[in-house]
């Protein structure tokens, strides 16, 4: 506290302070839950459940964070995941011949011509190893995510539709395509080797957690250390100044949305592998929660500022609270009341925080002397 007045001048110090604050809040929330329900909250099963639940939501959230830093939003993030999950599931089921649902019937819906279907079957390589199949599935999921993101980026950057509108449209579009393919039915019966991605463990650490940590490291590096990352911040903070600085705004935005799409594809893989099925509507509740978490994590609602540490801790905090509510046995209705109140409290904190920042602005007059 003594050094407070110095810290205010320094943004890297500020970031450090902020991280400490988030960490403390996380510890506080965790401790609170542990004290209230020591036996059940701290039980191995619960902790493990947390470790399996956090990654999907976390990856959606960092995807959302990237577009929000660029000054946009991606409302299609969940349906992007759904679509990439469904297309990659088809590839996976097709190649591993293990679908519990009738693939022939499924495909009849899409391809009217029987000869095409049999042709497909005939040309299908038979000798692919399971590893190959899984690698291909992963590739397809990420590629579909990439393409969905690219379309978002194209609409935002080239057609210049406001992000909230563009992605509202593509949200329905991707969901629609997924529905046309599956008619709303779940795809299930994935091979065990694939399930490992969602429920396996390496050295006692859940595989999804490992994937999540790798994604955090990759995105953190992207944002802090690459020209693209700095460009995303710049475009979000002041697109005009970015243009005047010689940045290619539309290329940066296209890439931003594409990266978020890829992250959605990654989340889809974990989601598929964790519950051994994929279906339109999975993960829908993550959409607004991920926006909430990004704002909680300190990303400016108009873009340009924010960092991944805050967002990751917010994900953890939110999940811990959510799990605590579960254990304490709040009804779904009550939970909504609590979430709503929490959101308002956060909004109050954030806006009073802004007021605080405005006050410190005038320091420039002192400093410049």
Partner 1 sequence: MAEEHCIVMENISKSYAGVEALDNVGIDILKGEVHCLIGENGSGKSTLIKIIAGVITPSRGACITIHGKNYSKLTPVDSMRQGIQIIYQDLSLFPNMTVAENIAINQLLESGKQTISKRLIHEIASNALKTICIDLKLETLVGDLPIAKQQIVAISRAVACGESLIIMDEPTSSLGKKDIDCLFRIIRTLKSNGISILFVGHKLNEIFEIADRVTVLKDGKSLGTHDIHELTYQKVIELMTGKALAISNYERDYPSAEPLLEVRNLSKRFQFKDINFTLYPGEIIGVTGLVGSGRTEMVSSLFGLNPADSGKILVNGKLTPIRSVRDALRAGICYVPEDRLSQGLFMNHSIKNNIIITIFHDLLNRLGLLESGKVKQTSSLWVKDLAIRTPSIELPVKQLSGGNQQRVVIAKWLARNPRILILDGPTIGVDVGAKEEIHKTIRALAGNGLGIIFVSDEAFEVVQHSHRIIIMKEGQVVEIVDSKDVLETDLLEKID
CA distance 255 to 197: 27
Q: Which is nearer to partner 1, 13 or 284 (CB)?
A: 13
Residues 6 or more apart in contact with residue 193 via CB below 8 angstroms: 130, 131, 134
Q: Which is nearer to partner 1, 164 or 218 (CB)?
A: 218
Q: Work out how close the CB of 122 gets to partner 1 at its nearest, in angstroms, rounded to a whole number.
A: 44
Q: Which is nearer to partner 1, 64 or 69 (CB)?
A: 69
CA angle 39, 41, 44 (to 5 degrees): 80
Partners of 187 in the β-ladder: 278
Q: Work out how close the CB of 42 gets to partner 1 at its nearest, in angstroms, rounded to a whole number.
A: 40
Tokens read off for 209:
């957690």
CA distance 165 to 135: 34
Q: Work out how close the CB of 160 gets to partner 1 at its nearest, in angstroms, rounded to a whole number.
A: 17
Q: Work out how close the CB of 261 gets to partner 1 at its nearest, in angstroms, rounded to a whole number.
A: 22
Q: Work out how close the CB of 5 gets to partner 1 at its nearest, in angstroms, rounded to a whole number.
A: 4
Q: Work out how close the CB of 231 gets to partner 1 at its nearest, in angstroms, rounded to a whole number.
A: 8
Q: Which is nearer to partner 1, 244 or 333 (CB)?
A: 244
CA distance 70 to 239: 9
Q: Which is nearer to partner 1, 14 or 341 (CB)?
A: 14
Question: What residues make contact with partner 1 under the rule CB under 8 A?
Answer: 5, 8-13, 221, 224-227, 230-231, 233-234, 237-238, 240-248, 300, 304-305, 360-369
Q: Which is nearer to partner 1, 102 or 365 (CB)?
A: 365
Q: Which is nearer to partner 1, 136 or 220 (CB)?
A: 220
Q: Work out how close the CB of 267 gets to partner 1 at its nearest, in angstroms, rounded to a whole number.
A: 25
Q: Which is nearer to partner 1, 97 or 158 (CB)?
A: 158
Nearest to 55 by CA among 81, 32, 92, 23: 81
Q: Work out how close the CB of 288 gets to partner 1 at its nearest, in angstroms, rounded to a whole number.
A: 26
Q: How far is CA 252 from CA 90, 115, 215, 246, in A?
A: 32, 44, 20, 12
Q: Work out how close the CB of 246 gets to partner 1 at its nearest, in angstroms, rounded to a whole number.
A: 5
Q: Which is nearer to partner 1, 119 or 227 (CB)?
A: 227
CA distance 251 to 309: 26
Question: Which residue do the tokens 């806006």 mark?
Answer: 351
Q: Which is nearer to partner 1, 49 or 249 (CB)?
A: 249
CA distance 214 to 217: 5
CA distance 354 to 70: 20
Residues 6 or more apart in contact with residue 292 via CB below 8 angstroms: 318, 343, 346
Total residue count of the chain as it appears in this document: 369
Contact 92, 191 (CB under 8 A): yes
Helices (H), the chain: 4-7, 11-36, 38-41, 44-69, 77-96, 103-110, 114-123, 130-153, 163-182, 192-199, 207-225, 227-237, 239-244, 249-275, 286-296, 308-328, 332-361, 363-367
Q: Work out how close the CB of 222 gets to partner 1 at its nearest, in angstroms, rounded to a whole number.
A: 9
Contact 101, 187 (CB under 8 A): yes
């Amino acid at each position: 506290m003594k050094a407070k007045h110095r810290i205010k001048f320094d943004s890297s110090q500020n970031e450090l302070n902020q991280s400490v604050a988030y960490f403390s809040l996380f510890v506080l929330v965790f401790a609170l839950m542990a004290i209230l329900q020591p036996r059940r909250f701290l039980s191995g099963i619960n902790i493990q459940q947390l470790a399996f639940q956090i990654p999907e939501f976390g990856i959606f959230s960092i995807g959302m964070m990237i577009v929000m830093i660029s000054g946009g939003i991606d409302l299609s993030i969940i349906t992007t995941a759904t679509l990439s999950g469904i297309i990659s599931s088809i590839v996976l089921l097709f190649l591993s011949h293990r679908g519990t649902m009738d693939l022939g019937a499924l495909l009849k819906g899409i391809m009217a011509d029987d000869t095409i279907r049999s042709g497909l079957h005939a040309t299908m390589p038979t000798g692919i190893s399971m590893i190959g199949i899984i690698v291909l599935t992963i590739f397809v999921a990420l590629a579909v995510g990439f393409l969905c993101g690219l379309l978002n980026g194209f609409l935002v950057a080239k057609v210049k539709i406001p992000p909230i509108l563009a992605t509202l449209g593509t949200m329905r579009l991707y969901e629609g395509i997924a529905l046309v393919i599956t008619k709303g039915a779940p795809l299930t019966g994935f091979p065990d080797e694939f399930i490992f991605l969602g429920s396996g463990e390496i050295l006692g650490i859940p595989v999804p957690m490992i994937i999540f940590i790798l994604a955090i490291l990759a995105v953190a590096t992207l944002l802090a250390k690459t020209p693209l990352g700095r460009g995303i911040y710049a475009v979000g903070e002041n697109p005009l100044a970015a243009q005047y600085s010689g940045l290619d705004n539309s290329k940066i935005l296209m890439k931003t949305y594409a990266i978020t799409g890829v992250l959605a594809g990654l989340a889809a893989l974990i989601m598929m592998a964790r519950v051994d099925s994929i279906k339109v509507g999975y993960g829908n509740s993550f959409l607004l929660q991920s926006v909430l978490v990004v704002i909680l994590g300190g990303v400016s609602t108009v873009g340009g500022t924010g960092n991944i540490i805050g967002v990751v801790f917010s994900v953890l905090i939110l999940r811990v609270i959510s799990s605590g509510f579960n254990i304490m046995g709040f009804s779904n209705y009550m939970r909504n009341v609590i979430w709503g109140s929490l959101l308002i409290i956060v909004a109050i904190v954030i806006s009073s925080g802004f007021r605080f920042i405005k006050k410190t602005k005038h320091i420039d007059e002192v400093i410049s002397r």
